[in-house]
Structure 1
Amino acid sequence: MVGYDPDSECASLTTVDIATAGSASGFVTRAMISPFDVLKIRFQLQIETFSARNPQAKYHGLWQAVCKIFQEERLPAFWKGHVPAQLLSVTYGAVQFVSFEFLTKLVHQGTSYDARGFTVQFFCGGLSACAATVAVQPLDTLRTRLAAQGEPKIYRNFRHAVACVYQQEGLLSFYKGLSPTLIAIVPYAGFQFSFYSLLKKLYDWIVPSEEMKTGNIKNFVCGSCAGVLSKTLTYPFDLFKKRLQVAGFEQARAAFGQVRTYSGLVDCAQQIARDEGARGFFKGLSPSLLKAAFATGFTFFWYEIFCSFLRAVKYPNGPKKQEG
């Protein structure tokens, strides 16, 4: 069970256990979904309309983009930026789940609200994601730039990217795109956790088979659906973030088509609306939804598996429940 529940197996786990489960979940999930992330970033940064009839558009469809990237950059390109992405996922998973479990426990013990309620899960999920986002934003910026660059590369590797960004653009450049990220992350993560909890209850009501109810398949299915719903509702802010993160990095984007510079979040939104239309706010939605489905589904899936594994190792004779 994600979130504090005195009747849950995970109630017996320590903060270190929860951080370990969150980190391990992030690590495994990131390795599996990295190609979707690269595709999503490439689509989000393309100014030109996605159409085979537009000769200036480098990418105009999912399959065409996969073939194009493979042809020009080979298979490793789908894992560009993987080192900072893994550091991001491990750190984010640890901070988010530790914060979420702490906040839901605080609500359970200090208020009359049900810690498993939709509203509580929403706000605790949003706040925990804010803490995790601030912790990993520099890694997210580096990951975006490494995944966005073509050939020849501007940054040779992760260390070179850190040095170049710091020397050429300053320390604050690592936090580019933080404003739209924080604006979007509260509803996005809030919906993830609250929809996940709600969908698990709905799943138990719809699915008659007891085996299907207790298996890990439920965690993956409900997590995937929660990820798709959350991403669809908050997607434009993710696009704003990616556009702002590559500011000052335009030379590496020259081979991909037009580039834009933005003075901030509002200017970014206005330019996209003016130059790309309403559909511009949802560029890259298809690979993003695929990524969200797998990423969120596997994140909850692996987190609950690792929690159960750690509990079984620590308490082979049964769960040690905490007083609530």
Structure 2
Amino acid sequence: MGKESAKKGQTYTGYAAEGFISAALSGSLSGAAISACVQPLDVIRTRMQADATKNALSGAMGTFRKIVAQDGVRSLWNGTGPTIIRLSMGLGLQMSVLEGLKEALRWQHLRSADQEKGRHPERLTKLEAFLSGGLARTVAAAATCPFTVVKTRMEFTGSGQPVQGMVSMMVGIAKRDGAVGFFRGLGPTIVTNAPYSAFYYLFYTSLKERLQQHGGSQTTVNFSSGTIAAIAATLLTQPTDMLRTHMQLQLGGKGTALGLQDTWRAVVGGRMGHRALLVGVLPRALKRTLQTALVWTLYEELQPRLKQAFMKAE
């Protein structure tokens, strides 16, 4: 019995290491590949949320036309540099943390007496899936917050403001606000991203398990599950995304930085009232759905292949 347990432990350790590395690499590659494709939707979302505070909202298509007319088509890709860095780093970290949590929980399942009661050791419970997705994203969101701030500021450039590159934007933030400026809106960023990923991973794993029972290719199942899960998670976390944008753009009047409570009052105290919290939901839903579904589909294709390649290399 002791030898068998030791053998299992060695196998788990090796599997976890290979899974950790392949998850980090797959997440980084997936994020970098998809991010630039959906960046225009992020620019439109950011401008809409900024315009809402000035009572100048013109809808998604109106905002799109205004951006192109004022700043040209290229401005739709403002912030692409920090977006690629943020997503490749963030997703690599998120997927590796998630993979580590999944393997630790599965190992506990294997050692648990619950297996004897018919519990599938490879499957996480709904609570485990929810908490794992949320915790993994919390770590990634906190680590990449500086790039989120830079990305949001760059997406807002144009619209009567001078266009700045990523480096000059970072230098400007550092000079004006110091290190704290790179973590402006960290609270809403985590409050938006952690629940989004928690709900997403819960919905994704549940839907994937159900769809697999009805057949279909693995790629189709992954993409369908990812699309539905992304839409649901986006709608649930939209209000906190509006607060994050407001804080990171310092839209409290004359560039004033507001706290979360004052930001809430500023956003809902305008002409739109509480409806302002839903501004930008259409481009955000499209962006999140496309990005998340494509990233996870690509990740699910890459990660097993990379893990197998690492195992063969040994």
Same fold (TM over 0.5): yes
For 2:178, the equivalent position in structure 1 comes to 170
Instruction: Give 1:203 deviation, angstroms.
Output: 1.8
Q: Check whether the contact 1:12–1:311 (CA below 8 A) recurs between aligned residues.
A: no
Relative contact order, higher structure (CA 8 A, sep 6+): 1
Alignment of 1:1-324 (within 5 A): 13-47=18-52, 57=56, 59-110=57-108, 112=112, 115-150=123-158, 153-154=161-162, 156-205=164-213, 207=214, 210=215, 212=216, 214-247=217-250, 261=256, 263-275=258-270, 276-311=272-307, 313-314=309-310
Distance in 2, Cα, partners of 1:250 & 1:32: 33
| Structure 1: 5+ residue stretches without partners | 1-5, 50-55, 252-259
The aligned amino acid for 1:271 is A
Instruction: Give 1:308 deviation, angstroms.
Output: 3.4
Secondary structure of 1:216 counterpart? helix
Instruction: Give 1:316 deviation, angstroms.
Output: 7.1
Deviation string, structure 1 residues 37-60 (Cα, Å, up to 9, x no partner): 1111111112358xxxxxx72x51
Distance 1:174 1:63, change over 3 A: same
| Structure 2: 5+ residue stretches without partners | 1-10, 115-120
For 2:7, the equivalent position in structure 1 comes to none
The RMSD of aligned alpha carbons is 2.6
Distance in 1, Cα, partners of 2:17 & 2:300: 13
| More helix by percentage | 2
For 2:5, the equivalent position in structure 1 comes to none
Q: Check whether the contact 1:155–1:161 (CA below 8 A) recurs between aligned residues.
A: no
The aligned amino acid for 2:238 is Y
Aligned residues: 291
The aligned amino acid for 2:141 is T
Secondary structure of 1:93 counterpart? helix
Secondary structure of 1:46 counterpart? helix
Deviation string, structure 1 residues 268-308 (Cα, Å, up to 9, x no partner): 11222221311111000111111111011011111112113
